[in-house]
Structure 1
Amino acid sequence: MATVIVGAGIAGLTAAWQLIGAGTDPADVVVLEGSDRVGGKLARAEVGGHLIDVGAESMLAVRPEASELVREVGLGDALTAPATTSASIWSRGRLWPLPAGTLMGVPSDPESVGGLLSDGEVDRLRHEQPWPGGLDTDVAVGEYLAARLGDAVVDRLVEPLLGGVYAAQARSLSMAAVVPALFAAAQRGDSMLGAAAAAAVARAGTRQTRSAFCGVVGGVGRLAEHVRDVLVERGVRVETGAMVRELTRTATGWRLTCGPVPAAYSIDAGAVLLAVPAPAAARLLSGAAPVSASLLGRVEMASVALVTLALDRRELQQRGYALPGSGFLVPSTEGRAIKASTFSSGKWAWVDALSDEVVFLRASFGRAGEVAVLQRSDDELVRTAVREVGEAVRFPMPHVVDHHVQRWGGGLPQYAVGHLDRMSRVAEDVAGVAGLEVCGATYGGVGIPAVIASARAAADRLMSSKGLR
């Protein structure tokens, strides 16, 4: 019987690729996607007459999983590094260079953050305080670092970096899950500054000189589309608009109920891999794995919005303005609506080469717990992006030739304190159910490489421990 993968984001597509690469007959692999396209948070749209990413636009290069997949599916020649990695932090009315040598915002050298932090705040950072009683359990990363290094380090360095990745507040994120290197150092009782310095030395001691991030010429969204095409060419069935509403056990495996109630249909499967967000996984697992369903149902999800602008290039040049570096991050304490902006035409050479008439930039909105900002209309978000980016760079934005607003409702799982333990319980529970696996951003990291690793591992477990190999 078929192996059915529910969800055609990069997790589900990777799982299908892994299955057929390990010997599963492609005709026995089915991928069902409830929306009208594949890719999940990897998405492209036409802006200013050109296809450009409106979802994830870069991948962590210091982990190999994403670049390996790109090469395996025949897109290796499209891998590219950023043209610049010079980013800033918008704080107290100006842009400050993002300090080099930090470990998720924790500086290796207190002097490197002078200016961004006041003299008093740098002095507080320099005099690191112990954590009372030592650390033997998970804790909120913002709470821990504020106690040891001061609030300013969390508010102006750690928070904007973590907010850009998780759309979360640092004082609610699991230290063990989101900064494991710092958590391990904390458990040993080591200095946080020392841990950041050791990480900086380790990076400098490697032969790796490329950027920590990479992209794909044509957009990261191109990767998902290409994997889909390769899978279909090899005989895998990939269906969009196929919402799975129910998952039930049968005598021989599983039955998936799909489609709208008036036109529901069923698919029988020997094994099922759920590559969907936590709320959808919780709903589908309610009968087969109620413990997992309960745990996944408690994972909070943050919503975000991404505004992409195509700006008049000639007007920008005629005024003698240039967007500085690759973009900037915004601490939540600044009271701004945007949390970050990426100057896409400056960051990526392929984007810059798309047009002589426009330059592209992105502005992102949405942190966990923020509701009012995302309730603004698309037009209001565009106006806010234009205004606030202009205030950050200290010159008015040129004419907006075109724009695109992408909303990701419930798009990012929140790694609350204790998240790893809860996901370990999910893994243990699912392992006890024959022919069932889960994967995706909820379990072991929200970045593209981590999601790919989760999908490959789930596919391997499904084949080996469930007797499919």
Structure 2
Amino acid sequence: MSEITIVGGGISGLVAAFRLAADHRVTVLESGSRLGGCLQQSTLSGAIPIGLDTGAEASLFRRPEAKELAAELGLDVEFPSAEHSSQVFTGGRLHPIPKRTVMGVPAEAAEVAELIGPDAAKRLAHEVITEPIEGADTSLGDFLSERLGPDLVDTLVDPLLGGVYAGRCRELSLAATVPALLPAAREGTSVLDLVSRLLAARDEQATARPTGTGAEPVFMSLVGGINRLIPALADRIRAAGGTIRLDAGVTSVRGESGRWFVETAESTIESDRLVLATPAHVTKDLLVEEAPRSAALLGQVPYAATALVPALIELGSEPFTGSGFLVPPTEDTLIKASTFVSNKWPWLRSHIPAGTALMRMSIGRRGDGPDGWRSLDDAELIERAFADWQSITGRTGDRLLAAEVQRWDQALPQYLPGHAELIGNIDADIAAIDGLELAGSAFDGVGIPACISRAEAVAARLAAADA
């Protein structure tokens, strides 16, 4: 039975520990006072005792990792309401988000004409076929702007991608963010034709589903929020004999004579194997001596700072409909999105008082300066965010009952063009270092399923090494 130290108590570190704890002596070191990383819960100071997510709020259901993990942990999956849909705010009003698109890219210009306007729709319909890209990757936003025009990118694609990465699509990798569109870029063929085929395949899959089952949900959560994965994992790790230490910031790591030595402010932990499941900028600092090439490459992964304002509101006289809205960066607003949480997730409705609703307001994109929203204190941020929300929705009769601010500093890695090649070079370098593995959202995807997948692959390699 080997000893394995795992640095980082987010979803990646905990999944790796869960997979290893039964057959190995596992120690998880978390620098903070709580587990979960970007999966966090709040009760809004007791206003919502069951709690709601103040970080990631959902996981893709179409990927198997999160739903299979939830089933293994004995957690019941919840789905978004089919009664409500989302909108995008542009030109001073809210518009329905077109449904028949691939990350905002339609097969037909008519699908988005009302949103982007007749001139932009005409430009989109007359796609400019560009030469195949040089290399394996390119900027998503630049590629689509050249092909279909900037209006679609700025009005729809950018806010959709911003909701995932808190980034700007002209800076993000096509291969890493919307790989389904990559063949058109590499082959110099039509994006519109490719999207048409992708949508037809989607329709065929839906038709093949058993009668009465309806469309497969895109997203999933859990009662109490997707954050409930964290305590469930922690309980199972401890039950298997694993150790979890909070407030255990790691200052350095070193490999010596086939062993790994992890230094914290209070002790040195010695083990056979080491997993660093930390943000790229943290991992970089820890690997400067042991893996200088990988450390330098990890330093090339930028991060975005964001904030989230969850709020309980007393509803006015207007019906409260919809699941939320997105705001393009071209609009002069503080908030970039809002989720109407109690509309989107039916399990929450019975846990809030009658005549109230829960919603979340999102703030921040990569490139925001320090003198913008980050200079505001929490009270100012709540006030300005809610003022924006009321202006966008027209719901001036609603009143704030409880709200708080969750700030995420350097929480979301940005997948720039060439990200896959960058990570491939890091993985090749680390593979030559015995007993060291890396996991986390900076590698193969920022979503929960991607983090689980990499963590499970890491755990499988470590287990195989001891077989």
**Do the structures match in fold with TM over 0.5?**
yes
Q: How does 1:358-369 map to 2 (within 5 A)?
A: 358-369=356-367
Aligned match of 1:258 in 261, 264, 289? 264
Structure 1 equivalent of residue 144 of structure 2: 145
Among 207, 212, 219, the residue aligned to 2:218 = 212
CA RMSD of aligned residues (A): 1.5
C-alpha distance in structure 1 between counterparts of 2:189 and 2:23, whole Å: 47
Counterpart residue identity of residue 37, structure 1: R
1:24 deviation in Å? Answer: 2.0
Aligned to 1:194: 193
Distance in 2 between residues matched to 1:195 and 1:135, nearest whole Å? 20
Where does 1:290-439 land on structure 2 (aligned, <5 Å)? 290-312=292-314, 316=315, 319-357=316-354, 358-371=356-369, 372-396=372-396, 398-439=398-439
Three-state SS of the structure 1 residue aligned to 2:56 is coil
**2:27 equivalent to 1:30:** yes
Give yes or no for contact 2:311–2:402 (8 Å, CA) kept in 1. Answer: yes
Cα distance, 1:85 vs. partner?
5.1
Whether contact under 8 Å (1:82, 1:215) holds in the other structure is no
CA distance in 1, matches of 2:185, 2:120: 21
Question: Tell me, what secondary structure is at the counterpart of 1:444?
Answer: coil
- Structure 1 residue identity aligned to 2:6: I
CA pair 343-81 structure 1, distance change in 2 beyond 3 A: closer
Alignment of 1:275-286 (within 5 A): 275-286=277-288
Distance apart, 1:202 and its partner CA: 1.7
Alpha-carbon distance in 2 for matches of 1:385, 1:350: 26
> Counterpart of 1:31 in structure 2: which amino acid?
V
CA distance in 1, matches of 2:48, 2:72: 30
Q: CA deviation at 1:335?
A: 2.0
1:295-339 per-position Cα deviation (integer Å, ceiling 9, x unaligned): 101211101000001111xxx2xx421333110000001121111
1:233 and 2:239 are equivalent in the alignment: yes
1:111 aligns to 2:117 (yes or no): no
Q: Cα deviations across residues 415-453 of structure 1 (Å, max 9, x unaligned)? A: 111111111000000000000000111001101111111
- Which one-letter code corresponds to 1:333 in the other structure? T
Shift of 1:144: 0.5
- What is aligned with 2:17? 16
> Please, which runs of 5 or more residues in structure 2 have no aligned partner?
none
Aligned to 1:55: 55
Tell me the distance in 1 between the aligned counterparts of 2:19 and 2:130. Answer: 44
Identity of aligned residues (%): 38
Distance 2:348 2:189 in 1: 43
The aligned amino acid for 1:272 is L
1:175-209 deviations in Å (ceiling 9; x for gaps): 11111111123212231112222222222211272
CA distance in 1, matches of 2:199, 2:381: 38
Per the alignment, residue 44 of structure 1 pairs with 41
Aligned amino acid, residue 365 of structure 1: I
Q: Secondary structure at the match of 2:318?
A: coil
The separation in 2 between residues aligned to 1:83 and 1:181, in whole angstroms, is: 25
Q: How many Å separate the matches in 2 of 1:368 and 1:247?
A: 30
Aligned mate of 2:270, from 268, 271, 277: 268
Deviations 1:236-284 (A, max 9, x none): 111111111100112231100012xxxx310001000111000110011
Match of 1:6 in 2: 7
Question: How many Å separate the matches in 1 of 2:81 and 2:7?
Answer: 33
Q: Which amino acid aligns with 2:199?
A: A
Equivalent residues of 1:257, 1:265 under 8 A apart: yes
Please report how far the alpha carbon of residue 151 of structure 1 lies from its aligned counterpart in structure 2 after TM superposition.
Answer: 0.2
| CA positional deviation for 1:364 | 0.4
Alpha-carbon distance between aligned partners in 1 of 2:65 and 2:34, rounded to the nearest angstrom: 23
Q: CA-to-partner distance for each residue in 1:59-89, whole Å, 9 max, x for gaps? A: 11111111111111111x2433445451100
Moved over 4 A (4+): none
Cα gap change, 1:222/1:83 in structure 2, threshold over 3 Å: closer, same or farther? farther
Deviation, 1:397, is: 5.0
Give the letter for the 1:449 counterpart: P
Shift of 1:224: 1.0
Contact 1:310 1:400 in 2 (8 A): yes
> Quick one: which amino acid aligns to residue 195 of structure 2?
A
For 1:462, the equivalent position in structure 2 comes to: 462
| Aligned amino acid, residue 35 of structure 1 | G
CA distance in 1, matches of 2:6, 2:67: 23
- Secondary structure of the residue that 2:175 maps to in structure 1? helix
Aligned partner letter, 1:360: L
Of 252, 255, 260, which residue of structure 2 is paired with 1:246? 252
In 1: Cα distance, 2:141 partner to 2:151 partner: 11
TM-score, normalization by structure 1: 0.94
Cα separation, partners in 2 of 1:85 and 1:432, compared to 1, 3 Å: farther
Rounded Cα–Cα distance in structure 2 between residues aligned with 1:100 and 1:336: 25
SS of aligned partner of 1:340 = strand
> For 1:99 and 1:401, how far apart are their aligned partners in 2?
33
Distance 1:119 1:72 in 2: 51
Alpha-carbon deviation of 1:347?
A: 0.3
CA distance in 2, matches of 1:331, 1:301: 20
SS of equivalent to 1:31: strand
Match of 1:224 in 2: 230
- Cα distance, 1:31 vs. partner? 0.9
SS at structure 2 position matched to 1:230: helix
Distance 1:82 1:341 in 2: 16
Q: Deviations over 1:84-143 (max 9, x none)?
A: 451100001111000011111111221111211110100000000011355543111100
